[in-house]
Structure 1
Amino acid sequence: MKTPALLLTAIVALATALPGMARQKNVTDPDIPRSLPAEGGAVSVSWTDPAQFSEIKYSGSRWESERGTWVTDLAKYLRDEAGQQLARGQTLDIVITDIDRAGRYEPSARSAMNDIRIVKDIYPPRIALNFSVKGPDGQVIAEGERKLVDHGFLMGPNLSNNDTLRYEKRLIDDWLRKEFRNGQAVTSTP
């Protein structure tokens, strides 16, 4: 008699808890938007299908690479930082076409280590993007395709060890600093 009551209590508790449990987020989830609205109308960032990014295709662990919101997090960072670089009245449209984060998931004899990202200088961060800068009159000032890579990412200044995207964010910062000198887009191809 006690077993059915106990079983019923367990089922009710489980049914109550399920809606509150968050589903693991994946960057390849088709329900996640692939663009960010322009904050203040100055910078819009969108991206192509993350399932085609080098990070997922060549990382050594597709499942680990798909986990989380790192694409959206990098897009937000790019939007916020780029907005500070533009001159008054300029707008910037960015399309991220590829991301390969620093490090890889290397095969291990111990299965418990297959979800550990190994960061070495042979696995630098890479980001490919297209951009278009328009002036206040709507005319294109600069546009192009950039393939960003930082081969010396481990030799830079100390970075916060708490941020899993620290190398990619520094790559974005370096590009913005080079591309937008003194609030003006550089029109020459680096």
Structure 2
Amino acid sequence: MTIQARLNAVLCSLTLLIGFGLCAPSVIAAQKPTVRVDWTDPSQFSEMQNRSGFNQTSPKVWLGEFSSTIRRHARRVLETGQSLSVTITDVTLAGTLRSGSRTSGVRVVDRNTPPRIKLSFTLTGADGQILLNGDRDLGSPNSMSPGLADSSNPYIHEDRLLIEWMDREFGSHED
């Protein structure tokens, strides 16, 4: 083999390796689970019907938190290539709003006022086939563990409800 032929072979090999190296991350990224979260009209949620005129946090804030929790945890429990679509259809936040002059707008959380989240979901396999779908009404006094009260996350009870649902529904595959 001539020197020119050897150089061409080396260049072709390098080109293939570099090309594969640049393509490999996108192939791997495409296999990660994908998660989409949306919601129906928040003004129709139970939480909004029970506001009693208090200046509460916008639904965009807590729906954003719930979306982040679902995306983050679903990527831990779903298998490679699966897709999850979740639509939140109703929310009642944990606790009740206190209506005193000094405590106006303060949410008091206890075992008698657990969170409730209604949702619908579809889990799709890498081949596009629907693996699981349905509607769920999540609500449990067990999500009101006393140890959670110290958390800096104001939606810790609702987040825990969502995480427990995903672990039950899809299994826990955390590393």
State the TM-score bracket (shorter-chain normalisation).
0.7 to 0.9
Decide which moves more: 61-70 or 119-128.
61-70
In structure 1, the partner of 2:71 is 79
In structure 2, the partner of 1:139 is 129
- Alpha-carbon distance in structure 1 between the residues aligned to 2:126 and 2:59: 39
- Alpha-carbon distance in structure 2 between the residues aligned to 1:113 and 1:43: 38
Contact 1:132/1:142 (<8 A) preserved: yes
* Residue 99 (structure 2) pairs with residue 107 (structure 1): yes
- Alpha-carbon distance in structure 2 between the residues aligned to 1:97 and 1:169: 16
Listed as ranges, the matches of 1:165-176 within 5 Å are 165-176=155-166
In structure 1, the partner of 2:107 is 117
In structure 2, the partner of 1:127 is 117
Q: Find the residue that maps to 1:112 and give its secondary structure.
A: coil
- Alpha-carbon distance in structure 2 between the residues aligned to 1:154 and 1:163: 14
Q: For residue 66 of structure 1, what is the amino acid of its counterpart?
A: S
Contact 2:34/2:84 (<8 A) preserved: yes
Normalising by structure 2, what TM-score?
0.73
Match 1:93 to one of 60, 85, 89: 85
- Alpha-carbon distance in structure 1 between the residues aligned to 2:134 and 2:127: 19
Q: For residue 75 of structure 1, what is the amino acid of its counterpart?
A: S
Distance 1:67-1:127 versus aligned 2 partners, 3 A rule:
closer
In structure 2, the partner of 1:24 is none
Match 2:167 to one of 152, 157, 177: 177
Q: For residue 67 of structure 2, what is the amino acid of its counterpart?
A: A
Contact 2:77/2:170 (<8 A) preserved: yes
Report the Cα offset of residue 71 of structure 1. Answer: 1.1
Report the Cα offset of residue 67 of structure 1. Answer: 6.7
Gaps in structure 1 of 5+ consecutive residues: 1-39, 184-190
Q: For residue 144 of structure 1, what is the amino acid of its counterpart?
A: G
Computing the radius of gyration from Cα coordinates, the structure with the larger value is 2
Q: For residue 86 of structure 1, what is the amino acid of its counterpart?
A: L
Distance 1:67-1:170 versus aligned 2 partners, 3 A rule:
closer
Gaps in structure 2 of 5+ consecutive residues: 1-31
Match 1:150 to one of 140, 146, 149: 140
Distance 1:61-1:151 versus aligned 2 partners, 3 A rule:
farther
Normalising by structure 1, what TM-score?
0.67
Q: For residue 54 of structure 1, what is the amino acid of its counterpart?
A: S
- Alpha-carbon distance in structure 1 between the residues aligned to 2:125 and 2:108: 43
Matched residues, number: 142
In structure 2, the partner of 1:162 is 152
- Alpha-carbon distance in structure 2 between the residues aligned to 1:91 and 1:83: 9
Report the Cα offset of residue 62 of structure 1. Answer: 4.9
CA RMSD of aligned residues (A): 2.1
